[in-house]
Amino acid sequence: MDKAKRLKDIADQLIGQGNLQIVESAFSADYLAHTGQKTNSGHKFIKQFTKLLRTAIPDVKIVNIEILSCADNILTWQRTLSGTHKSNMKGIPASNKKVKWYEMVVSRFDKDKIIEEWISSDLAFQLMLKNK
């Protein structure tokens, strides 16, 4: 399977379906996620964040994934997600409103596993807008 197809499959299973069993086979044990000035690491982080997201937005779905560039082991891509904000997420109270947000991601692979990602998301901004 090429890396773009693998990436889409991983995103769908993890975020779209909440399948945490895919984490070990899809992500390196040394996984790093860079989000702004923060870096998170490991399988535990991926599982915790996925649970947090799917609890706050239980009907989360991936609307679109667009691969922007593909090098040997690095993919740059944008994903569009949507769902209903049903419970508190990182201090932002539930609005019970539909939310749509965008994420830009650069994923670096080591063989067939994602080892490092740089992620920029406007989820927090969109959740705050819905609470006005």
Number of C-beta neighbours around residue 59 at 10 A? 11
8 A C-beta contact, residue 104 and residue 115? no
Tens digit of each residue's pLDDT (9 = 90 or more) over 52-107: 999 999 999 999 999 999 988 999 999 999 999 999 998 999 999 999 999 999 99
Q: Where are the domains of the chain?
A: 3-130
- Return the DSSP state at 89: B
Report how far residue 48's alpha carbon sits from residue 45's, in angstroms, rounded to the nearest whole number.
5
Tens digit of each residue's pLDDT (9 = 90 or more) over 98-114: 999 999 999 999 999 99
Query: pTM (2 decimals)?
Result: 0.93
- Output the pLDDT for position 1: 58
The CATH architecture to which 3-130 belongs is Roll (3.10)
